[in-house]
Amino acid sequence: MNTDGVLRVGDGRGFIIEHRAFLSYGDFSDPPRRKLVVTASHCLPRPPKMPCFDSEDTTYGNLLAPLGEEPSVWADCLFFDPVSDLAILGEPDDQSLPEESDGYVALLDERAPFTIARPESGEGYMLSLDNDSWRPTPLKVHAGIWGTGLSTGATLAGQSGSPILDASGRAVAVVSVGIGMESGHHPILKLALPAWLLETMEEMTQPL
C-alpha cells in the first residue's frame, strides 16, 4: 500500500491528495493538478488566525517532513475545522515566500496521492507507529440521529492525522484520536472535506 503519500505534520501525520485546480481563465480541458495535505486539525501547533487578512495569518513554518524526520517544510492552511478535527494544507504563497513554496512542492512532487472513497463496514488499514507497515483494523460505519460516524480498532498517540484506508487502499477517514482502544468519531472524508475540494477531485463515489 501507499506509504510514500503519508507525511509527518508537527507531532502527528498527514497524507497527500490531489485535486484539479480550476481557474477563472484559460483552457479548462486539462486543468492543473495541485497536491494538498489532509491532517487532523489538532496536529497544527495553533489554529490559523481568524479573520485572516493575508497568508501570514495561515502559514506555518517547519511543519511538514517525510516520516521519521524533523519538520522543516512550510505549509499554508487552506481549511480548518475544529469540530470535525480536519485541516487541509497547501503550498505557501509563492510571491511572498518563494523558497518555502518551492520546498513544499519539492517534498510532495514525486509522492503518490491517495484516492478518496466513502467508507463501508469491513476490514481496513492504519499505518503503524513504525511507519513501515499497514495494520488491519475493523471499520464500523454507524448512522443515527447524531449523523454518520466511523469506528475502528485501537489507535495510538502519534497516529493522529494518518489516513484510514479501506480494503482497496483508498482513504476513507482520518485518525482523530489515539486512545489505545476501539475508537470512533474519526472524520469521514466524504462528509468532512469542503465542497470546493470534493467537487474537483477525480474518482468521486456517490455521497453517503
One DSSP character per residue, the chain reads: ---TTEEEETTEEEEEEEEE---SSS--SS--EEEEEEE-GGGSSSPPPSS--SGGGTEEEEEEEETTS---EEEEEEEEETTTTEEEEEPPPTTT-HHHHHHHHHHHTTSPPPPB----SEEEEEE-TTSS-EEEEEEEEEEETTEEEEEEEE--TT-TTPEEE-TTS-EEEE-----SSEE--PPBHHHHS-HHHHTT-SS-----
Q: Please report the pLDDT score of residue 132 as a whole number.
A: 81
Reported as a pLDDT band with limits 50, 70 and 90, residue 11 is very high
The pLDDT assigned to 29 comes to 58
pLDDT tens digits, 18-70? 987 765 555 555 667 899 999 999 999 999 987 766 677 899 999 999 999 99
pLDDT score recorded for residue 196? 86
Query: Per-residue pLDDT averaged across 171-185, rounded?
Result: 76
pTM of the full structure: 0.89
Residue 52 has what pLDDT? 67
Report pLDDT digits (tens) over 115-162: 999 999 999 999 999 988 999 999 999 887 767 889 999 888 889 999
What pLDDT does residue 1 have? 80
- State pLDDT tens for residues 110-127: 999 999 999 999 999 999
What is the residue type of 79? Answer: F
pLDDT value for 128:
93
Whether residue 178 is predicted with pLDDT greater than 70 in this model: the reply is no
> What are the chain's domains?
6-108 (no CATH), 122-192 (2.40.10.10)
Q: Is the pLDDT of residue 207 over 60?
A: no
Q: What is the mean pLDDT of the chain?
A: 87
pLDDT at 204: 41
| Residue 2: pLDDT over 70 | yes
